[in-house]
Structure 1
Amino acid sequence: MKILPYDSRWPPEWTGQRRSGILLFGGVFLGLIALGAVSQLSRGPFIFAVVAVYFGHLAAMSLHSYGGGRRRTDTTGVQETAEGLVFRYAAAPTYLVGAFSVLTIVALAGLSIAAAAQATVEGYVICVAVAVLAVLMLVFLVVFLRLAPGRVVIGPDGFHHRGLTFTHFVPWEAVSDVAALWAGSPVVFVHTIGSPRTLTHNYLGRDTAGPRTLSPFDTVSGRWLAADPGLLLRALAYYIGHPADRSELAAGTALRRVTAL
């Protein structure tokens, strides 16, 4: 992987923005709960360890979301392959979502078993309701493990986005513009138009294809990227405006061009 330096100035839409105070408060509050559970390990090693791990992961998720996308001065997190420029999802948020899903499924399964053990009508009702939630979480986890880690690819044929529950491909003729938005963190907003070659595969919903059923945009949150979201914004903006240069995305020269802009 080539790591190149570049000017990482962000667009004005991302500079000087306020981050979510609720996420910061939630991260600190949940972290204190986790620390409180750690301090009580001598009273019940198993139950308090479970509480500490669970709320510790929740706290980490809140604080990571509060931090949002990271500004970098190099191309860490970007790979240049025959597919094009590959912006991979970061390991930290991917791990946190996966670990939280596993912990939640285990907790729901335990609660369901405990409710059934009461051998009462209310207990059975709670058991079924909680079991349904556990199954839904398990379905999400299976899809997550199949697709993770996510990535965004700017290729010679178009824009590819593999999230945690979907895959989305938009050919260049259907990518009309890109913009910087702020939603508590940097967001790359990709405007699209109808094309019969556009395809979205939603593993938890309905697949869509073609111009009539596709929503006219795609978004990439900077919270997920291992790379500077500004570099993704810059690369998309350049190749939308310079179609004659798109062939270099498969030739191994695109990253050097984008960093020199």
Structure 2
Amino acid sequence: MGADGMPAGLGDREAPWRVDGVGPRWSPLRLLALLFFVGMLLCALGIAVSAVGDRDGSGVVLGVAGAVLFAHLLGFLAVVWLPRRRSARHVTSARTPDGTVGVRFGYSRWAYYWMTALLVLCLAIGAAVVLAAAAQGGTAGRVGAVGLAVLLGLTGWFLVTVLRVGAGAVTVSPAGIAHRGLVHLHVVPWYAVHGVGAGVRAGTPVIVVDAAPSPDTVVRRYTGWFGTADARELPRLVVRTLWLATDPATVLAALAFYHAHPELRGELATPEAPRRIAEGRARG
């Protein structure tokens, strides 16, 4: 356990987790990037307003499309990069993939919205570029259009899979820990878990469940090799905290608590566990 009562880090290095929640730290590069995209958003709005005055229909469409794209990009980056407070009481009971009852920490609906909306916008703009490039003719244009079309196809497949799989969650039951990510499912039984801790991946705080391979471990990759980095650390179970709707420090503490107290895991199938976690008694 760390000095602040939280589990020690099992990741690349000790995570810069704050007591009031988990989130990325401010950095000059991220601030500059956000300011740049704010400037691009203002430029797009300026183009749209100017085009309205000039009665330029194509300019209006271009300006509005750019403004919508940059607004959603800023929204997604705010979720990914900026610290945000999340409730420790966002805890519910739900069934795990194997049918047992457990405590569910769901993914944020806002995070899903910004990501899916941004991907839809990119697909729409990319499709328009492909059509324009193909219409212009020429070998280079057609080759570029084909390459971009392949990339758009993969992106569309990923998006459809995310929507088909449904909202992600971390579910803790008497049997073990289940993590349904964007495009994968990873279930680890308690007897295979060696430790629970905080880590950092590519500047993003994560929860790391250090686990050994076991015959009861379940891994499903719904997009095969074309997936997220969370599923590439097997047998470790990795949860990127930016997706969680619940305060990630609460999720980390709950996982560590029930790992350290096997005699209490039976209550995970009862209303007592959500109450304990919401009241802050699942620590230490």
Please indicate the TM-score interval, normalised by the length of the shorter structure: 0.7 to 0.9
Per-residue CA deviation, residues 117-168 of structure 1 (Å, 9 max, x unaligned), is 0122222111111111110111111111112311110112111101111111
Structure 2 counterpart of 1:203, one-letter code: Y
Asked if the contact 1:86/1:151 (under 8 Å) is kept, the reply is yes
Which is further off, 229-238 or 22-31?
A: 22-31
Take 2:115 and 2:274, find their aligned partners in 1: how far apart are those partners? 30
Take 1:227 and 1:88, find their aligned partners in 2: how far apart are those partners? 7
Q: Quick one: which of 25, 29, 35 aligns to 2:32? A: 25
Asked if the contact 2:119/2:159 (under 8 Å) is kept, the reply is yes
Q: SS of the residue aligned with 2:244?
A: coil
- 1:176 paired residue number: 194
Gapped regions of structure 1 (runs ≥ 5): 1-8, 207-212
Gapped regions of structure 2 (runs ≥ 5): 7-14, 52-58, 96-100, 226-231
Q: Quick one: which of 32, 41, 48 aligns to 1:34? A: 41
Asked if the contact 1:69/1:224 (under 8 Å) is kept, the reply is no
Q: Quick one: which of 71, 86, 90 aligns to 1:56? A: 71
Asked if the contact 1:70/1:222 (under 8 Å) is kept, the reply is no
TM-score (normalizing by structure 2): 0.79
Does residue 242 (structure 1) correspond to residue 257 (structure 2)? The answer is no
Per-residue CA deviation, residues 166-221 of structure 1 (Å, 9 max, x unaligned), is 11111111112101224544321111012111011111216xxxxxx972312212
Take 2:274 and 2:205, find their aligned partners in 1: how far apart are those partners? 21
TM-score (normalizing by structure 1): 0.86
- 2:123 paired residue number: 105
Q: Quick one: which of 11, 14, 18 aligns to 2:17? A: 14
- 1:202 paired residue number: 221
Asked if the contact 2:86/2:245 (under 8 Å) is kept, the reply is no
| Cα distance change of structure 1 residues 161 and 188 upon mapping to structure 2, 3 Å threshold | same
Aligned length: 246
- For 1:148-187, what aligned pairs fall within 5 Å after superposition? 148-183=166-201, 184-187=203-206
Asked if the contact 1:105/1:138 (under 8 Å) is kept, the reply is yes
